[in-house]
Structure 1
Amino acid sequence: MVHVRFEGRSYDWTERELNITAALSDTEIRARLAGRFDVGVDRLKDYVIDRTAGGDLIVRPEAVYG
């Protein structure tokens, strides 16, 4: 499962739907998601990609505290 939080909305897709695997680099994952959202990859440059122990991917904006 790939869970994405983008511009205040949450999306869930299977890896197959996005042609993404956890083995891809963060850069490749961001590029594929940018294509899915039809935005420039620079819009996702500050997004964090977490890989869970179960093999899922969580893509989210970087958290800023303080």
Structure 2
Amino acid sequence: SSKRRVLFPDSKGGLPASEVTIAEVLKSNGYATHAIGKWHLGHLPQYLPTSHGYDSYFGIPYSN
């Protein structure tokens, strides 16, 4: 299958927009949200934490 369950630096996929993150739930209740550290859920802009409810993000999208 062309679908991989593990993301690699050349992966074009990531966390689906349909997934509800803890950040989105917290934001809907008035909290500020920030992510720090490794993300490992996609490196393209639409998959980064700031596209999934986080106000800011400091970290790396993947590493070994």
Instruction: Name the TM-score, length of structure 2 as normaliser.
Output: 0.25
- Greater Cα radius of gyration, structure 1 or 2: 2
Q: Which has the higher strand share?
A: 1
Higher helix share: 1
So what's the TM-score if we normalise by structure 1?
0.25
